[in-house]
Structure 1
Amino acid sequence: MGGVGKTTLAQLVYNDDRVKDEFDLKAWACVSDQFDALMVTKTILNQVSPRRYDDDDFNTLQVKLKQNLSNKKFLLVLDDVWNENFEDWDILKRPFLASKPGSKIIVTTRQHSVVQNMTHRPAYDLNVLSGTDALSLLAQHALEAKTFDARPDLRDIGRAVVKRCENLPLAVKALGGLLRTMVSPNEWEDVLNSEIWIAEDKSKILPSLKLSYQYLRPELKRCFAYCALFPKDYEFDKSRLVYLCIVEGFLQVSQREMPTQVGSKYFEELFLRSFFQKSSADASYYVMHDLLNDLAKFVAGDKCLRMDNESQENLPSNISENLRHLSFIRHEYELYQRFNFVKEGRSLRTFLPLPIQNKYPKKFFPQRVLHDILPKLHCLRVLSLNGYFIYELPNSVGDLKHLRYLDLTRTLLKCLPESVTNLINLQVLILRECQRLTKLPASMENLINLFYLDIDSTGKLIEMPQGIAQLKSLQTLPKMIVSKSSGMRLNDLGNLSLLQGQISIEELQNVVDVQEAIDASLTYNPSLKKVRLAWSNEFGDSRNEILELDVFNALKPHYNLESLEIDFYGGSKFSNWIGDLSFRNLKEISLSCCGNCTTLPSLGQLPSLRELSISGMNRVKVIGAEFYGNKGPFLALERLTFEDMLDWEEWLGLTHEVERIVRFPAL
């Protein structure tokens, strides 16, 4: 039975502290009804291996997995298994046989036939909750309490509600999320007496889930229905879904609000109502329960089309005039014929390959689609070509006047056509990991609505157009390259007051006047939580130690900072603000290749510092009292790394050479 709590129970076991110490390795893989031994193997391997594998060769992956599991005791969860083919399971399990005795595999499934193919042991059948437990679960989600003692006027209605839900946990949680927004008994009775409970319906969607959806605000309904584009068990990123909902126009935003903040509130509301849940394999991602995925597909109707691993014979032959959003699972070699029907979708708004995340091998995409089909989709708002072997975009992309979201992650573009700057409605431009990219369009200032520009991991991009400084709506800019000629200057950051999240400021040796650093105004931006300051890795006569220290001093971030990285700094000492006690939120620091510094900064008194990495500090000979500070040193530090310290001779403080022994209590 779906929604009875199989995955939840497996999660409790998987994350239990008593289990952690019993196993050398743990992994979680969602299998789903589309059984793919290669993807399951890759998912497990990427969790148990210290490095990431993007290879699509099944035999290679199995050999690597066997090596990683060899003589190790592991716990593996295979969630939501439907496949009844014994041969598929027999192939998948071969690497597991190399493990240590005591290794365990937990399988969740709705079908007894799956159990019979995988093991001789009997299955553990989960039943629905008892009436008492179901009522307690409803209280937790509706009242944030374990009982109805504080609201006895709602207890009897609550009993009737859980009975309507047939004591099914997923249904009770969903209704609890709905009733949380209602205070009076009359409102609860309206839910209890809704016609949805008794209406005849061939959709087989649980009435409790339909009821939860029915009470959503219209804008939340649109955001949830959009998730029909995601396959079952698909892991999605919160921020990326928020951006998609923004550019599709699903949000109601006042002039005083930022769309990203409103979108985050929408997402949290859907999460609290159990429409989304955190992924078991990776807590930074989210998933939808299968039954809620069915609901999204049902309410989206023919506005959304999701092409999973369809065969050539099952490709759509025509297109509904209501179709607005298209998603499809990437193939290694895409064929023009697969997208031929899209030409008829003149009202199509979304062209979205899946997975959205940029952690999969590149695929081949037909140029004919770029030149013949996409230019005809004049209503397109979302265009993603993420992860494809694409060397250039046609100029016609500039004719897609309604385009608001352009994702070119990991493509092979060296530059974008200048026509991209005609896209005045563009809000999101993603060029992450475009490792051949050498320049951005000159007239970037035309993109007046752009709030998200991701150029992270673009190593060949050596200059940024000065026009970026005029994009007053920009909130995300993970990298900024300081120019000493016609490009963007350091002081231009002062114009981008809405920047948030993280930023890497690179090529700081190009700053010629400390006033540029002062005008960058990092101190006045409380929303930048992660900052990297980087100079050139070439130390020559052109480097000015005194100026670099002055620039360093002037680039003091706001006290909200959580992560700091300093690379290739050429001054002889560090700025005093690094160890300032006011940085109470600073959790991570990395100091790398600061080759002229002979001492380390005073970091021991930072109260929240958990990770500290120091490398390539070739002139440091002694680490002593100056490193620890005056307060109890390194009280929160959990991870300390020293690397490539060629002249390091003494480490004082581990014995009695300084005032007291340094204990590193949390290391």
Structure 2
Amino acid sequence: MMGTAYVCKLGILPDEDCWSVLRHYAAFAERQEEEREKLKKIGMELAKKCKGLPLSAKTLGSLLRFKKSKQDWQDVLESDKDIQYSKAKYEYYIMHDLIHDFAKSLGENECFTFTTKDTMNAQEPSCSRARHLSLVVVVEEKCMNIPSFTYKAKSLRTLKIVGGGQIPKVSSDLFLRLTCLRTLDLADSYLEELPKEIGKLIHLRYLNLSAARFRELPKSVTRLYNLQILILERCSNLCKLPKGIWGLVNLIDLDLSECLRLCYLPEGIGRLSRLRSLSDFIIGGVERGGRGCKIGELKDVNFFKGILRIIGLGRMENGNEAKMACLKNKQHLRALYLYFNQYTGVSRVDEEVYDEEEEKEEKEEEVEVVDGEDMLSRRRMEDVLESLQPHPNLEILSINDYPGVVFPNWMSSPATFMNFSNLVFLELSECSKCKQLPPTLGKLPSLETLVIIGMDKVKFMGVEFFWNR
């Protein structure tokens, strides 16, 4: 008996319903009322971008669940990647099971994971079709080489070293043969030398060399014009980056965290116009023989997101030079750390500890120097900080080793500093010449954490400090 089939075609959701789904999965109701007010407008804009797709709203809401700040939500709104991901996920779910199984089968014989013990105790595996390869290094093996079969995987797109073993040297043949690599992850392998043949990997998009032990990168790295992410964090011996780094025209992320021997960045860093994340900007100057970049190179790089540390502000000549950084225009910057000290090490581990007698002698010497060159230097640094006013979207601000006597007007003026409505963390560290705190601190509406270190000349805090507490 033949029956009649009725097809019920579901339409798309209205924007209001999309917002309802999104806020449910973003745990919107669990947030404080003040936080909800800040996020509601952005959330409704995000709901519109879901184009009525319920699963898109669900996926996007889940993504936003652990994003706490207004800037986090704003970043998602301004980046279509997360929206496209949620739509792609929706399209994936409506694929027929058979098609999905077929797609899954395509990955067989292309993705491999081996431990180093596997490669030593078994017959050499065949990886000629491999596209993605992970090598898990057994910690007990203090020193090893990349297995020979890896060199035969000429179609390899991803090579990742996992574990805590050491691979001090990589043969140049590896880079001459694996020219199709898009991702190379040698993090924590303690690489002592990077062959110049790395420049042959012209398709490389991602390069992670964290904790490597080499002193410098080969100049051939600057030929990797497709590279988007370069991670050099914890490369404690790294002294300099190669000239011509501006050749990495597609670079969007450069991580130099804890590269404590890196004295300056090379000229041309400002030409990396696509840069979105730069952990450390280390200023060159007269003390470095005039080598290195000036802070003005930050002028046209306006799409920074996340954290930026500017180190070596004491090398700057005047406020006009500082003003060229145009920090006011960097509206996507989340956290700004300013270091006036001349050394690049951010850690306090190596600082000397003075006893009370030595401190007393030091203070007596300071009292004697009330004018002359020292006074001019202080005023110059006050002018520098005055010219480094950031965008009010900032959430974290840290000022370290500031040698001035007074804080800048943009921190002391209620009309200006109260506009920093997103600021939740403020640190004033070793600003040892300052005698009073900015009177506006109590008026910052969102401030949650205030850290004050090494400001011995501050003797009291006025009632204005407790205005908003």
Q: TM-score under structure 1 normalisation? A: 0.50
1:364 aligns with 2:166: yes
Going from structure 1 to structure 2, the CA distance change for 1:584 and 1:407 (only over 3 Å counts) comes to: same
Q: Please point out which of 410, 423, 431 is paired with 1:577.
A: 410
Whether the aligned pair in 1 keeps the contact of 2:284 and 2:315 (CA below 8 Å) is yes
- The residue type equivalent to 1:348 in the other structure is L
**Alpha-carbon distance in 1 for matches of 2:420, 2:177:** 53
Q: Which amino acid letter does the alignment assign opposite residue 327 of structure 2? A: L
Cα distance in 2 between the residues matched to 1:327 and 1:309: 10
1:302 corresponds, among 105, 109, 119, to: 109
Cross-structure match for 1:477: 278
From 122, 126, 144, give the equivalent of 2:21.
Answer: 144
Q: Which runs of 5+ in 1 are unaligned?
A: 1-139, 146-177, 184-215, 217-237, 239-256, 276-293, 356-361, 635-667
Correspondences of 1:295-334 after superposition (within 5 Å): 300-307=107-114, 311=118, 312-314=120-122, 317-321=125-129, 323-332=130-139, 333=141
Residue 547 in 1 paired to residue 349 in 2? no
- 1:504-653 → structure 2 map (5 Å cutoff): 504-536=309-341, 544-578=377-411, 580-602=417-439, 603-628=441-466, 632-634=467-469
The residue matched to 1:520 in structure 2 has which SS?
Answer: coil
Q: Read off the aligned partner of 1:610 and give its amino acid letter.
A: E
Deviation at 1:380, TM superposition (A): 1.0
- AA aligned to 1:548 is M
- Quick one: which amino acid aligns to residue 83 of structure 2? K
Match of 2:336, SS state, is strand
Query: Match for residue 180 of structure 1?
Result: 54
Label 1:439 to 1:431 Cα distance change in 2 as closer, same or farther (>3 A). Answer: same
Structure 2 letter corresponding to 1:328: L
136, 139, 151: which one aligns with 1:343: 151
DSSP-derived class of the 1:453 partner: strand
- For 1:141 and 1:338, locate their aligned partners in 2 and report how far apart those are by CA, in whole Å: 50
Structure 2 unmatched runs, 5+: 1-16, 23-51, 60-66, 68-74, 94-100, 344-365
Bigger RCO (CA 8 Å, 6+ sep):
2
CA spacing shift, 1:509–1:620, aligned 2, 3 Å? same
Structure 2: distance between partners of 1:504 and 1:142 = 37
Contact map agreement 1:537 1:568 (CA 8 A) in 2: no
Is the aligned partner of 1:437 residue 2:311? no
* 1:456 aligned residue: 257
Superposed displacement of residue 546, structure 1: 1.3
- Matched residue type, 1:341: F
Who is 2:174 aligned against?
Answer: 373
Shift of 1:556: 0.8
User: Given residue 569 of structure 1, which amino acid in structure 2 is its aligned partner?
Assistant: Y
Aligned position for 1:278 = none
Task: Give the counterpart letter for 1:601 in structure 2.
Answer: P
- Kept after mapping to 1: 8 A contact 2:381/2:404: yes
Report the secondary structure of 1:329's partner residue.
strand
Letter in 2 for 1:492: E
| 1:90-489 map, 5 Å | 144=21, 180-181=54-55, 261-267=79-85, 300-307=107-114, 311=118, 312-314=120-122, 317-321=125-129, 323-332=130-139, 333=141, 339-354=147-162, 362-365=164-167, 367=169, 369-484=170-285, 485-489=290-294
Contact (CA 8 Å) 1:599, 1:623: kept in 2 or not? yes
Corresponding residue for residue 654 of structure 1: none
Instruction: Please tell me whether the aligned partners of residues 168 and 190 of structure 2 are also in contact (alpha carbons under 8 angstroms).
Output: no
Amino acid at match of 1:327: S
Q: Give the Å deviation of 1:381.
A: 1.3
| Structure 2 letter corresponding to 1:563 | I
1:624–1:615 Cα change, 3 Å: same
2:395 alignment partner AA: E
In the TM superposition, what is the alpha-carbon distance from 1:370 to its structure 2 partner? 3.2
Q: 1:351 to 1:266 in 2, by over 3 A?
A: farther
CA 1:182–1:363: 2 relative to 1, 3 Å: closer
Distance 1:315 1:270, change over 3 A: farther
Partner of 1:85: none
SS at match of 1:386: coil
Give the Å deviation of 1:566. 0.3
Q: Are the counterparts in 1 of residues 309 and 338 from structure 2 also a CA contact under 8 Å?
A: yes
Q: How far is the alpha carbon of 1:353 from its aligned partner?
A: 2.3
Q: 1:389 to 1:624 in 2, by over 3 A?
A: same
Q: How many residues align?
A: 363
Residue 343 of structure 1 aligns to a residue whose secondary structure is helix
Distance 1:428 1:352 in 2: 15
Detail structure 1 runs of 4+ shifted over 6 Å in the superposition: 140-143, 270-275, 294-297, 537-540
